[in-house]
Amino acid sequence: MPELGPCAVCTIPAENRCAGCKTTLYCSKEHQKQDWKTHKFLCKPPLYKEGSSPELGRYLVAARDIEVGQTIITETPIIIGPKQVTPPVCLGCLKPGPKARCQLCKWPLCDEECPGWDTNHAIECAALVRAEKPLTFSDLQKPHAAYEAITLLRLVLMQKKSPKKWKLIQEMEANEKKREPSAEEKKIVQFLLTYVGLSKWGPTWDTSEKTLHRLAGVLQVNALDVRLPHGGEVMALFPTTSLIEHSCIPNIRIVFDPMCRMTVSASKDIKEGEHLQTMYTHALWATFQRREHLFSNKQFWCKCPRCSDPTELGTMFGAMRCVAPDCGGFLLPTAPLEAGADWACTKCVGRLSEKQIADLTGHLGQIVDEALAQPTESSLKDLLEKLNAVTHENHFRQYAVKHSLIQLMAKNVPTKDELDEKQQLCEHLLKVTQTLDPGGARLAVYEAVICYELHNALVGRAQKENDDSLLARAKVLLLRVVYLLRFDEHLPEGQLATVATKKINEIEEKIGKS
């Protein structure tokens, strides 16, 4: 399990932070003293401070002006573990597709010699080995319910493994008064108490049912999903970043390196006194879905400017066409901050209930998911025609289809009309994307793909029209791709940045560097 980070002097795992910058870590007072000669020149107070309010609980606020791109926080997780719903992964390194078994507890490992055994699995192995009988993991492809207990068990074990981390975990919000444990959570807690035997651990452990549900709450409210370079996904708890509040128009970007170390940077300029805000839900969902998701998972109703505006910042991202003949209006929520409020037409007296809108949107979602499973250019164009009969052209279901479509369009010696069509569609998507997320806080990869495809259309046109000014525009788009994906080198999407860099060089060879 990673400690808070490496000691600045000897790099062994350290848990003591410098009280000045709250960033540099030391394993001991001696090493802190020893480092002060150099550190005093580097030690600056953090760019943020903690605040609290009855509505938000604790939050982080800019302690001085922060410029776009500036790093605000870097930290390592206090705990990582398998996601709640996951096919079996190695309990040492968390890689998917484990082939071996731990010789002691019989839970899956990538290899009996997995290097993560000592750091991640050893302590829980001692607990799992005492279980009534070993579990069989016969299907390694399908999610296995027992995994839902592992990260929770790792939290419990922190009581003895790292009292410092245990204290941080105890300070985290669990929304105990607002949260109802689900039936699934009750099963997990019983699994730990009876099958793993936590109820018999004795008085030196706090393993009461109440504590286990509180810890499940800590995970639900605070844990972040982290994608790993080997393709797996895990969940992790970060002590400082977990204080950042939610907004559907975030001002920070969170990225992870291959070791799960997180960096929080400003996705736009942030003035002193402004709250740091991240997005806990999906940026490409309409308001009523985002708010429902936040309420069931994080126990609050979002009131951010995007949620408060029926048009979602003018994008019409959830707008449905009015069905009245020849009306041409759009249905929008009459009171977006009131769950269950009707939707009304912008032109006539037409109205639908939120339930009717939700059912229709859900139905469209199924059709879109089916089409996107095996997309072709013509099938997606047909689908768009159908979607356009019932939704606004910027509707999020159309957005999903168009985003796939641009990646299929104008391949293999396209005509000028095909290139123009692709360019228009890319420009339209880019406008919606940059309105919803101007700093690429959440939609960086989506925006990078659009910029790349728009560059393709412009390069195609430049060749046909012999117009170098189009190449200059294409280069600006490629530079944006590289900027947006600058943190993603270790992930599949990072390859797009590599391709973009190569294409920038090709354009510069043709038109020069200016």
Ligand X SMILES: C[S@@+](CC[C@H](N)C(=O)[O-])C[C@H]1O[C@@H](n2cnc3c(N)ncnc32)[C@H](O)[C@@H]1O
Q: Which residues are within 8 A (CB) of 401 and not within 5 positions of it... i.e. 6 or more apart?
A: 368, 371, 372, 380, 383, 384, 387
Let me know: does 254 contact 247? Beta carbons within 8 Å: no
CA-derived radius of gyration, the chain = 26
Q: Does 173 bind ligand X (CB under 6 A)?
A: yes
Q: Does 243 bind ligand X (CB under 6 A)?
A: yes
Give, as one character, the DSSP assignment of residue 253.
Answer: E
Q: Among 19, 55, 141, 509, which residue sits at the site for ligand X (rule: CB under 6 A)?
A: 55
152 vs 364, beta carbon nearer ligand X = 152
Q: Does 246 bind ligand X (CB under 6 A)?
A: yes
Q: Tell me which stretch binds ligand X (CB under 6 A): 17-25, 43-51, 205-213, 296-304.
A: 296-304
Q: Does 124 bind ligand X (CB under 6 A)?
A: no
DSSP 42-66: H----SEEEEEETTTEEEEEESS-B
Q: Does 245 bind ligand X (CB under 6 A)?
A: yes
Q: Tell me which stretch binds ligand X (CB under 6 A): 75-83, 297-305, 409-417, 501-509.
A: 297-305
Query: Helices (DSSP H) in 347-376: which residue ranges?
Result: 354-373
CA–CA distance, 91 with 126 (Å, rounded to integer): 13
Minimum distance from residue 173 beta carbon to ligand X (Å): 3
For 208, list phi and psi in degrees, rounded to 5. Answer: -70, 160
Minimum distance from residue 334 beta carbon to ligand X (Å): 22
Q: Among 242, 267, 361, 394, which residue sits at the site for ligand X (rule: CB under 6 A)?
A: 242
237 vs 319, beta carbon nearer ligand X = 237
Minimum distance from residue 106 beta carbon to ligand X (Å): 35
243 vs 419, beta carbon nearer ligand X = 243
Beta bridge partners of 109: 100
Minimum distance from residue 148 beta carbon to ligand X (Å): 20
Q: Tell me which stretch binds ligand X (CB under 6 A): 40-48, 158-166, 242-250, 491-499.
A: 242-250
Minimum distance from residue 183 beta carbon to ligand X (Å): 21
Q: Which residue is nearest to ligand X (CB)?
A: 57
Beta bridge partners of 331: 320, 345
Q: Tell me which stretch binds ligand X (CB under 6 A): 8-16, 22-30, 210-218, 241-249.
A: 241-249
57 vs 350, beta carbon nearer ligand X = 57
Let me know: does 134 contact 268? Beta carbons within 8 Å: no
106 vs 164, beta carbon nearer ligand X = 164
131 vs 221, beta carbon nearer ligand X = 221
HSE, side-chain direction, 13 A CA sphere, residue 109? 20
Q: Does 23 bind ligand X (CB under 6 A)?
A: no
307 vs 444, beta carbon nearer ligand X = 307
303 vs 464, beta carbon nearer ligand X = 303
Pick from 222, 220, 316: which is nearest to 278 by CA?
A: 222
Minimum distance from residue 295 beta carbon to ligand X (Å): 10
Minimum distance from residue 91 beta carbon to ligand X (Å): 26
**Element spanning 382, H or E:** helix 377-390
Pick from 319, 365, 314: which is nearest to 344 by CA?
A: 319
Pick from 481, 493, 409, 474: which is nearest to 447 by CA?
A: 481
Q: Does 300 bind ligand X (CB under 6 A)?
A: yes
What b-and-e string marks burial along 264-294, b requiring 16 or more CB atoms within 10 Å of the CB? bbbbbebeeeebbbbbbbebbbbbbbbbeeb
Q: How far is CA 203 from CA 143, 154, 225, in A?
A: 34, 19, 33
Minimum distance from residue 18 beta carbon to ligand X (Å): 23
153 vs 221, beta carbon nearer ligand X = 221
Q: Which two tokens stand for residue 36?
A: 């002060």
47 vs 459, beta carbon nearer ligand X = 47
Pick from 77, 196, 183, 63: which is nearest to 127 by CA?
A: 196
Q: Does 291 bind ligand X (CB under 6 A)?
A: no
Q: Tell me which stretch binds ligand X (CB under 6 A): 65-73, 132-140, 154-162, 293-301.
A: 293-301
Q: Among 28, 34, 119, 175, which residue sits at the site for ligand X (rule: CB under 6 A)?
A: 175
Q: How far is CA 371 from CA 239, 325, 360, 387, 407, in A?
A: 41, 29, 17, 12, 15
Q: Does 238 bind ligand X (CB under 6 A)?
A: no
Q: Does 326 bind ligand X (CB under 6 A)?
A: no
Q: Does 290 bind ligand X (CB under 6 A)?
A: no
Residues 189-228 that bind ligand X (CB under 6 A): 221-222
Q: How far is CA 86 from CA 57, 105, 212, 298, 491, in A?
A: 31, 19, 20, 21, 20
Summarize as ranges the residues that interact with ligand X (CB under 6 A): 55-59, 172-173, 175, 221-222, 242-243, 245-246, 298-300, 302
